Every structure is written in structure tokens, then in C-alpha cells.
């Protein structure tokens, strides 16, 4: 199976039907990622099949946790090379996305991808989460993160930017847990936890969905 066939088939298994144009955008993205990765450290995963599974399909698996629709605002914390935000935007072009990446060179790559594809209703901020202006508080429907080391840290940073009833969606290893005390402290509850294996792999993941409670 070629990488393109793998992306198409894997996306279908996740419930996503990609158009020819969307598939093309994904591989333009991967080509630019490979090119920029020679100059700056964007990803340690370089084999194309692994990149499709562990970056693209893993990012698209977030759609298991919400229904994309026009008007949804998504904040991605610590975007790095753009996962999951850019794959989600390619697959669901009607949502608006803000990516926060404090490393200037990585933020430059994200802006380059936004211009190259091109993607509309996408914002890149090259600041730390602690430096986010108050105007962003309570303004997002969804917050995502892949790069944060601990779930409590991701929840603590993200919940302040959610609208009432908004969701923090995290893709983690299936072995991770979080205590009720830490959930209460963050002001969230577990809405759902979905365990699955990424398509065409033995890569086990869990999608955690946390709902803002106050």
C-alpha cells in the first residue's frame, strides 16, 4: 500500500472521506515538512509510512471526539510542526484554528504551510501559553495539545481559553490516567475516553475528552 493509499484508507476507517484536493494538500504538507526538517528539528519521524500513521492519522483521530462544523474555534497548544491542527484544518476546512508555538523557527514553518496550501481562518502565534492575551480567554470551543508532557499541565493551560462547556481533547498513550482531584482543580470532567489502534498499525492511542465545568 502506498502512503497515499494508506492515508485514504486510514482516514476512511476514522470516518473521514478525503477529496483528491485534500489528499494533495496532505502530501504538499509532508513534502515541506521533510524539506524544513533538514534545517530545523520538526519531527524525529522521517519514514513516510510512519509519518502518515503516527502524525496524519493520529491527528485526524481527534475527529472521533467532536463534529467539525462552521463556526467552531479550535486552539492548538504547542503546535510544533502543526499536529494535530493542520491535518484537522485540511480535513475540516470550515473550522477556525489558532496555533500557539513559542519556538520562532517552528512558528515560521507553520506560517509557511498556511501560505503554501493555502489555509484560511488560521492564526499562528509565536508566544508561550502564559503570554496569551486576555482577549483569548473563554473564546474557543475546543483546545487540543500533543506536545504537553502531562495531562494536568495541558488542562491547566487550556481550560482558561474555553467557552463554557468547551472541550479539551488530548491524544495520549492508553496507559495514562488522571485523578479526580486534578480534574476538580482544573475545572473539568471526563466527557469520554476512546481507546483504539491507529489504522494499519499496532500503535495504540486513547482520546481523552474533558469538558469545562466552571
22-71 pLDDT, tens digit per residue, is 999 999 999 999 999 999 999 999 999 999 999 999 999 999 999 999 99
Helices and strands per DSSP (H, E), number in the chain = 8, 7
Neighbours of 120 (CB within 10 A): 10
In angstroms, the CA 166 to CA 81 distance is: 25
CATH number, domain containing residue 186: 3.40.50.150
CB-count exposure of residue 69 (10 Å: 0-12, 13-18, 19+): exposed
pLDDT for 162-198, tens place per residue? 999 999 999 888 888 899 999 999 999 999 999 999 9
Q: Which residue has the cell 482544573?
A: 186
Tell me the three cell numbers of residue 105: 523557527
Tell me the three cell numbers of residue 18: 478525503
How many domains is the chain partitioned into structurally?
1
Domain boundaries, position 206: 3-212
Q: How many residues does the chain have?
A: 214
What residues contact 89, with CB distance under 8 A and at least 6 apart? Answer: 95, 97, 119, 122
Q: Which residue has the cell 482520546?
A: 207
* pTM attached to this predicted model: 0.95
Tell me the three cell numbers of residue 66: 467532536
Residue 130 confidence (pLDDT) above 80: yes
What residues contact 193, with CB distance under 8 A and at least 6 apart? Answer: 206, 207, 208, 209
Amino acid at each position: 500500500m502506498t502512503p497515499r493509499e494508506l492515508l485514504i484508507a486510514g482516514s476512511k476507517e476514522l470516518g473521514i472521506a478525503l477529496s483528491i484536493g485534500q489528499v494533495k494538500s496532505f502530501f504538499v504538507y509532508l513534502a515541506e515538512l521533510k524539506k524544513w526538517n533538514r534545517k530545523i528539528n520538526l519531527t524525529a519521524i522521517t519514514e513516510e509510512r510512519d509519518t502518515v500513521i503516527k502524525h496524519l492519522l493520529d491527528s485526524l483521530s481527534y475527529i472521533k471526539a467532536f463534529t467539525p462544523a462552521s463556526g467552531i474555534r479550535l486552539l492548538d497548544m504547542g503546535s510544533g510542526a502543526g499536529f494535530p491542527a493542520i491535518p484537522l484544518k485540511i480535513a475540516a476546512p470550515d473550522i477556525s484554528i489558532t496555533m500557539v508555538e513559542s519556538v520562532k523557527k517552528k512558528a515560521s514553518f507553520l506560517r509557511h504551510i498556511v501560505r503554501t496550501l493555502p489555509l484560511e481562518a488560521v492564526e499562528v502565534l509565536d508566544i508561550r501559553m502564559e503570554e496569551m492575551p486576555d482577549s483569548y480567554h473563554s473564546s474557543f470551543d475546543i483546545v487540543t495539545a500533543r506536545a504537553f508532557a502531562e495531562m494536568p499541565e495541558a488542562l491547566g493551560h487550556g481550560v482558561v481559553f474555553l467557552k463554557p462547556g468547551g472541550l479539551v481533547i488530548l491524544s495520549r498513550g492508553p496507559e495514562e490516567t488522571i485523578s479526580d482531584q486534578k480534574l476538580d482543580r482544573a475545572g473539568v470532567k471526563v466527557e469520554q475516553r476512546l481507546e483504539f489502534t491507529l489504522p494499519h498499525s499496532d500503535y495504540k492511542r486513547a482520546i481523552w475528552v474533558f469538558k469545562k465545568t466552571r
